[in-house]
Amino acid sequence: MLPIIGVSSSLKEDVLTVPTENMHAIGKFGGVPLVLPNMVYAGIDTIAEMIDGLLLTGGGDIDPTLFGEEPLQGLGDITPERDAFEIAMIQKMLELNKPILGLCRGAQILNTAVGGDMYQDINSQIESTLLQHNQHAPRWHGSHFVQVMKGSLLHGIAQTEQFKVNSYHHQANRGVPTGFAVSAVSSDGIVEAIESKNHRFVMGLQWHPEYLVLKNDSISVAIFKAFIDACSK
């Protein structure tokens, strides 16, 4: 059977939305995408048991009270229902040791769910000069480089220590808790990838490989292939 991949969704004005690029990237490499609700209820355990992997998609900002801070001026729109649902799903999937791939916001909520923290707004909270992390270029265009840590899961997939990524964010992971490690950074020091040291495939990427897959970017293709393969086992 083909692996079933649960895909998190955005929630705005009682409407669930998911960019189709996420669905295409899963389907292209042999997965079956299943859009998930944004409601915490008794079915969390049932959903986690049913799916073979979890894709945490991009979207709006994350409630800073989840990591012990109050909202700063640079914080954008938050969706408490989505935060609560995704955290519950992440924790259950980790308990079951099922694969998780977090993209952009997905990498941030993954880190938050395991006890990490993040910048609410890198442009106002970091004083040093930053790269353009919200690029003015097509979504399928790689705009800046990331440096990958040797020996990491990401390095094993990419088979290189440097490659280009696209970038559409103003929040970013900061403190990464025990049991997780930073596996890639940009040249300005922003955390670009995290991964679990205790699970077979749990990874968060600050960029959007689902858009780069559209142009057959080799690294993005390798990432999705590795994720779907992990979900198949």
At residue 176, the 3 state secondary structure works out as: coil
* Annotated catalytic residue 208: yes
Phi, psi of 155 (to 5 degrees): -65, -40
Phi-psi category of residue 47: left, alpha or beta, with phi > 0 → left and psi -120 to 50 → alpha: alpha
| β-sheet with 53-56: strand ranges across | 32-35, 4-7, 53-56, 100-103, 202-205, 191-196, 180-186, 144-148, 162-165
Mean confidence (pLDDT) of the chain = 96
* Annotated catalytic residue 210: yes
pLDDT digits (tens, 9 = 90+) for 120-147: 999 999 999 999 999 999 999 999 999 9
User: What is the predicted pLDDT for the residue at 229?
Assistant: 98
pLDDT confidence tier of residue 182, bands split at 50, 70 and 90: very high
Q: Look at residues 158, 174, 161, 227 and name the one whose alpha carbon lies nearest to residue 199.
A: 227
User: Taking the model in full, what pTM does it have?
Assistant: 0.97
Domain ranges across the chain: 4-232
Rounded CA separation 212/219 (Å): 9
Catalytic residue among 21, 86, 192, 210: 210
Catalytic residue among 133, 144, 169, 208: 208
User: What is the predicted pLDDT for the residue at 28?
Assistant: 96
Catalytic residue among 104, 133, 169, 231: 104
Superfamily of domain 4-232: Class I glutamine amidotransferase (GATase) domain (3.40.50.880)
* Annotated catalytic residue 231: no
Strand partners, 119: 172
Range 158-173 average pLDDT: 98
pLDDT digits (tens, 9 = 90+) for 68-100: 999 999 999 999 999 999 999 999 999 999 999
What sign for the dihedral angle of Cα 123, 115, 21, 80? negative
